[in-house]
């Protein structure tokens, strides 16, 4: 098992995963669930950043998530990496990230259960796609 990180492959893979995450977020919010995801009106938050600051925070957090998703993948590569490993890794990460978030959001977020279920399912699918992509892009023995 090769544990040395190939920084160039990691960076390229992280950017590709970031793009996949951004596409999934766009499709989910714009084409799929926007009408169901409207929260119940409530009092304004104590602090609400302007639109540009919020957008920067979203992209920065997504970039960090993509880098960490990719980094953990590089450390979890088995002796026989391949598509199966990428799919299993993506499914496991999807369950780890989105199922607990789903349970918590049922209690704390004022969205319909249907919208939250769609967010969870699409999130797990997104992780599987990212894992499969990582299996194709990050080759541990390639210098």
Q: Report how far residue 28's alpha carbon sits from residue 118's, in angstroms, rounded to the nearest whole number.
A: 9
Local confidence pLDDT in tens for the 143 residues of the chain: 456 778 888 899 999 999 999 998 888 777 656 555 555 555 566 666 777 888 888 899 999 999 999 998 888 876 677 888 899 999 999 999 999 989 988 888 777 788 888 889 989 999 999 999 988 988 776 55
Length of the chain: 143
């Amino acid at each position: 098992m090769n544990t040395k990180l190939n920084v160039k492959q990691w960076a390229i893979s992280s950017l590709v995963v970031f793009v996949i995450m951004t596409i999934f977020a766009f499709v989910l919010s714009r084409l799929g669930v926007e009408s169901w995801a409207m929260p119940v009106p409530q009092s304004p938050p104590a602090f609400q950043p302007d639109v540009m600051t919020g957008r920067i925070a979203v992209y920065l957090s997504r970039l960090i998530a993509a880098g960490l998703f990719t980094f953990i993948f590089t450390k979890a590569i088995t002796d026989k990496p391949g598509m199966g490993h990428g799919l299993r890794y993506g499914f496991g990460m999807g369950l780890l990230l989105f199922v607990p978030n789903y349970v918590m959001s049922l209690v704390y977020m004022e969205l319909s259960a249907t919208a939250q279920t769609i967010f969870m399912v699409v999130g797990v699918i997104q992780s599987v796609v990212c894992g499969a992509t990582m299996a194709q892009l990050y080759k541990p023995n390639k210098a």
